[in-house]
Amino acid sequence: MPARPALLALDWGTSSLRASLLDAAGHVLDSRHRPWGLLHLPEGGFPAALQGIAGDWLTATPGLPLIASGMVGSAQGWREAPYVPVPADAQSVAAGLLRFEALPDTWLHIVPGVRRNGAWPDVMRGEETQILGLLARGAQTDMQLVMPGTHSKWVRVAQGRIVDFHTVMTGELFALLRTHSILGRPAREAGGGSPSDEAFDAGVLAVRDGGPSGATALLFSARARVLTGQLPAAHSLDYLSGLLIGEELRSLLPRSGSGPLQLVGDAMLCARYRRALAAFGRDAQVHGEDAATAGLWQIARRAGLCRGEGLNA
Amino acid sequence: MPARPALLALDWGTSSLRASLLDAAGHVLDSRHRPWGLLHLPEGGFPAALQGIAGDWLTATPGLPLIASGMVGSAQGWREAPYVPVPADAQSVAAGLLRFEALPDTWLHIVPGVRRNGAWPDVMRGEETQILGLLARGAQTDMQLVMPGTHSKWVRVAQGRIVDFHTVMTGELFALLRTHSILGRPAREAGGGSPSDEAFDAGVLAVRDGGPSGATALLFSARARVLTGQLPAAHSLDYLSGLLIGEELRSLLPRSGSGPLQLVGDAMLCARYRRALAAFGRDAQVHGEDAATAGLWQIARRAGLCRGEGLNA
């Protein structure tokens, strides 16, 4: 007898939507991926996207519980799920689920983001679910995570709880500078060359070894080094990437303890961060970015959503 | 008898062109301004712009010497005038003039930019002429200049020579973030409010008083403070401006001695920098940004270009 679906888990971000059908033990029965992130919803918006990716599953399993995490719960999302404060764990995140009728007779639970208050407030939305998934998979309960991306997150986990974090806009800044600034022009004119580890390392080392502190004062060196012949135009974006990632490390490594770092994210990006971390004398372990489904399962269990879980949990 | 024209001085940048007709004592006889910067040249390009702004003057005074400074001498300009190294003064800049036939029988001298070599190379083009103009007007021969703008320049002048400088991309970064990033969105949606000194100060103080060092780690607070209700969306750009200017000061003030700073540039922008400098406990004197013509005159004299200068100098 095929396993019976117990949960529909949705990882719903800015650029994509993944739907996974889980059984009562949390195993993935089926999974689908669509480019229907918040910025690319199909005609009909959120309801149409949900119907489109999982309508047949919902019809086949009446009363199937639904849970979603990511930007779908932001002010720009389907419904805004207010943040829960740090320290945050599966229990407090589950207690903050926002429940609403997403389709007729179909209730969706949206995972809240996590907020840090104080003079330097910060927010995350989606990463908390990935982190809870990593913990459920057996990651250490005390660790320093680095999650590189558009908005990199540096997250400290202690005793299995998210206790502190910082957002660094490295990825967005790189994309802006590459596309719109004078720094991107030489590379745009030179055309795309092959990536240069040498130029990347030069950027990282420039930050590590001196010069004026602070990225706004560093950035112009990506132009000046091209103009003075020290940097080939075709490699200037690799140098810029090294500057920005190096600056991220320079800013946040002093706050991240002394142990190995846990890198979570896109494999190529994690490889660059690992290379830069090595230049700063720090080890890192690389994890995949596919922990969201495991996290959604954990949160749903804590909230008592999963059908038949009493049989397996 | 009306004074006879002795020099045509062109201040020719990315966004505008100013032409001034000077007599043999360096006094301005007439001046014209056109929006014909490198990015907005008229049909016919550089020659048409020169003919359009000063054709009648050139016809009326055959053999009138011409000099130009600014991005017109860059690789994207009319002709590239190679940089001269620091230390740079009117003599070394004059020795680096690039002379070419810009219109038939009309020779134009383009002022070279200034270059600093080494591990952190940097370049300026146009600011050197403003600085030489300030010096000619009686500015101190030892001073620390701050020239805010798209690419702010922090310049150290000693014994009347440009000896060191750093470029900080504060203005370009602000424009990029305002126009293209997630940080600009709340203000774009809230519509333009009146400028908030309070939000600007909050950004400056956020940098001065702590938090993670480095702008990429600071920037996200402009979003997080809106999301957590600490900052009105309509004032978020003022806060961002405070963050970026504050970061510029945090990075470069430690390298700028202890005396008063000389601010040169747009009046409103200089007022903001002066306000931010006060928060860091530093005094500043504000100068106008109209020193380029005086600088062009100085350079032309050193090069022996000016007609009849022997009668007056």
pLDDT, position A213: 64
pLDDT of B149 > 70? The answer is yes
The sign of the CA dihedral A69, A75, A80, A84 is positive
pLDDT, position A284: 95
Position B25 in a domain: yes
Q: Are residues A283 and A303 in the same domain?
A: no
Q: Are residues A63 and A184 in the same domain?
A: no
pLDDT, position A99: 97
- Nearest by CB to B169, from A216, A230, A244: name it: A216
Q: Do B221 and A120 count as a contact with CB atoms less than 8 A apart?
A: yes
Q: For residue B41, how many other CB atoms are within 10 A of its CB?
A: 17
Name the closest residue on chain A to residue B217, using Cα atoms. Answer: A168
- Nearest by CB to B251, from A117, A210, A217: name it: A217
Position B188 in a domain: yes
Position A158 in a domain: no
pLDDT of A44 > 60? The answer is yes
Greater pLDDT, A211 or A302: A302
Name the closest residue on chain A to residue B229, using Cα atoms. Answer: A121
Query: What SS3 class is residue B271?
Result: helix
Greater pLDDT, B313 or A170: A170
Segment A260-289 shows an average pLDDT of 93
In the block, residue with structure tokens 């519509």: B191
Phi-psi region of B113 (alpha: psi -120 to 50; beta: other; left: phi over 0): beta
pLDDT, position B313: 37
Residue pairs spanning A and B at CB distance below 8 A: 145
Structurally, chain B folds into a number of domains equal to 2
Q: What angle do CA A220, B289, B87 make, to 5 degrees?
A: 55
pLDDT, position A311: 43
The DSSP call for residue A138 is T
The DSSP call for residue A88 is B
Q: Do A221 and B120 count as a contact with CB atoms less than 8 A apart?
A: yes
Q: Are residues A80 and A101 in the same domain?
A: yes
pLDDT of A69 > 80? The answer is yes
- Nearest by CB to A219, from B169, B183, B211: name it: B169
- The packing angle between helices A292-302 and A127-136, to 10°, is 80
Q: Are residues A213 and A304 in the same domain?
A: no
What is the interface pTM, i.e. ipTM, of the complex? Answer: 0.84
CATH number (domain holding residue A60): 3.30.420.300
pLDDT, position A2: 66
CA A41, CA A61: separation in Å to the nearest integer?
A: 25
Q: Do A212 and B166 count as a contact with CB atoms less than 8 A apart?
A: yes
- Nearest by CB to B213, from A216, A227, A251: name it: A251
Query: What SS3 class is residue B93?
Result: helix
CA A120, CA B206: separation in Å to the nearest integer?
A: 8
Contact list in B for residue A115 (CB cut-off 8 A) is 227-228
Position B161 in a domain: no
Q: Band the pLDDT of A176: cuts 50, 70, 90.
A: very high
H runs (alpha helix) in chain B:
45-60, 90-95, 127-136, 170-180, 185-190, 197-209, 215-219, 221-227, 236-252, 267-279, 292-302, 309-312
Minimal CA separation from B108 to chain A, in Å: 24
**Cα–Cα nearest to B78, from B17, B30, B23:** B17
Q: Do B216 and A244 count as a contact with CB atoms less than 8 A apart?
A: yes
pLDDT tens sequence across B84-97: 999 999 999 999 99
Segment B2-13 shows an average pLDDT of 92
Q: Are residues A176 and A66 in the same domain?
A: no
Name the closest residue on chain B to residue A207, using Cα atoms. Answer: B120
**Cα–Cα nearest to B113, from B135, B131, B128:** B128
pLDDT of A264 > 80? The answer is yes
Q: Are residues A179 and A261 in the same domain?
A: yes
Position A161 in a domain: no
Position A280 in a domain: yes
Mean pLDDT of chain A: 91
Position B304 in a domain: yes
CA B264, CA B274: separation in Å to the nearest integer?
A: 11
CATH number (domain holding residue B257): 3.30.420.310
Q: Do B120 and A213 count as a contact with CB atoms less than 8 A apart?
A: no
Residues 6+ apart with CB under 8 A from B258: none
Minimal CA separation from A96 to chain B, in Å: 17
CA A146, CA A252: separation in Å to the nearest integer?
A: 10
Q: Are residues B110 and B51 in the same domain?
A: yes
Position A163 in a domain: no
Name the closest residue on chain A to residue B115, using Cα atoms. Answer: A228
Ranges A87-96, A181-190, A219-228, most confident:
A87-96
Q: How far is CA A304 from the centre of its chain?
A: 26
Query: What SS3 class is residue B238?
Result: helix
Q: Phi first, then psi: what are they for B106, rounded to 5°? A: -125, 115
CA B21, CA B6: separation in Å to the nearest integer?
A: 8
| B195-222 CB burial, b ≥16 within 10 A, e <16 | ebeebbbbbbbbbbeebbbbbbbbbbbb
Q: Do A220 and B177 count as a contact with CB atoms less than 8 A apart?
A: no
Question: The domain containing residue B180 runs over which residues?
Answer: 168-287
Q: For residue B91, how many other CB atoms are within 10 A of its CB?
A: 13
Percent of chain B with pLDDT over 70: 95
Minimal CA separation from A166 to chain B, in Å: 7
pLDDT tens sequence across B172-185: 999 999 999 888 88
